[in-house]
Amino acid sequence: MSSSLALSGPLTLSRSSKTSNSSSFLGFGNAIPSFGTRNVARSRVFMSISVGSETVVNDALFSDYKPSLAFLFPGQGAQAVGMGKEAQTLPAAVDLYKKANDILGFDLLDVCINGPKEKLDSTVISQPAIYVTSLAAVELLRAHDGGQQIIDSVDVTCGLSLGEYTALAFAGAFSFEDGLKLVKLRGEAMQEAADAAQSAMVSVIGLDSDKVQQLCDAANQEVDDSNKVQIANYLCPGNYAVSGGVEGVKAVEAKAKSFKARMTVRLAVAGAFHTSFMEPAVSRLEAALTATQIRPPRIPVISNVDAQPHADPGTIKKILARQVNSPVQWETTVKTLLTKGLKKSYELGPGKVIAGIVKRMDRGADIENIGA
């Protein structure tokens, strides 16, 4: 996918290299340390075009990436009351929550630590909470012996659905503040889209993706168009999430045993994420992304939409807008990382969902959790 930005405004060509990422690059000033690496001397020379305030680069810049150390960030559903408490011993993490309070207009840390669970689980709260807490986990790792060296060595990052925004912030594509504003709007837009229709999500356990697709096809034969279902999250072999109308999801649950599924688990989310039910959220995200300054990431960030890294800011904006109504290709993402020779990964943020997925795909995978 290539960017189709109109070349209006001043046009300059610059030859850039992938070098260290300072806090000013991320827009933090001096108050909060950069999430980026400091010693990225793995110079990757490329041609960039400045179009007004936006930089256009070859979107295939990272296509030949060779992963060694990855940071993986969780998505919605990883939240738990009490998260964020451990990170409060670190001034850098405390500053993240303070900045979040100013942007969100409420005490995010209080909800993270004290709940109630029903409030934390809501889409509009859980998405900002996971974003901030995951980046606080980066600061927690930084404070450990050898933590900065680990952060400096990361050469690829990605996140599950919402976690893609966290990964992009870590990679310097946008500032912490801009990322949080996008996540806030994303949660609100997805909640509104969910409220506009009777929809749901269910995990189907114990089947391969072809069987789950057959199960969806069978369910769709029994419901009208407003209740159709589809695979929304390709998580890992034997675990796929199906989204759609409530009646369609009920049909999936009723037919699952006949397709030899081990079990189904209805997910505690607002509605049919990553399907056409989220179409109303796309236009709101497109408008917000258009107004947000996005830079080329300094390391590959793997997209949920196509399991590929993108370098061009215009393309990243289009991908992020499409993400909410496109199936999550997490299985392909992890499989590609492992196939390309990934040696070590860290899951940063609440929960251990991602570690479980990675271990299911490769029992010998080296992955460590850093909570906050």
What is the pTM for the complete model shown? 0.87
Residues 6+ apart with CB under 8 A from 291: none
What pLDDT was estimated at residue 270?
81
Q: Check 34, 134, 274, 303 and give the catalytic one.
A: 274
In whole angstroms, what is the distance from residue 172 CA to residue 297 CA? 6
Residue 196 or 1, more confident: 196
Q: What is the pLDDT of residues 34-64, one digit of tens each?
A: 554 443 334 344 445 555 555 678 999 999 9
Q: What is the pLDDT of residue 288?
A: 97
Give the CA angle between residues 134, 140, 144 to the nearest 5°.
Answer: 145
348-357 pLDDT tens trace: 999 999 999 9
CATH numbers and ranges of domains, the chain: 69-194+276-370 (3.40.366.10), 198-266 (3.30.70.250)
> Which residues have C-beta within 8 Å of that of residue 191, sequence separation ≥ 6?
122, 123, 124, 270
In the set 126, 161, 199, 326, the catalytic residue is: 161
310 is catalytic: no
Q: Work out the pLDDT band at 271, boundaries 50, 70, 90.
A: confident
Is residue 14 predicted with pLDDT exceeding 60? no
- pLDDT attached to residue 268: 78
3 state DSSP class of 55: strand
Alpha helices in 196-329 (DSSP H): 209-220, 246-255, 279-290, 313-323
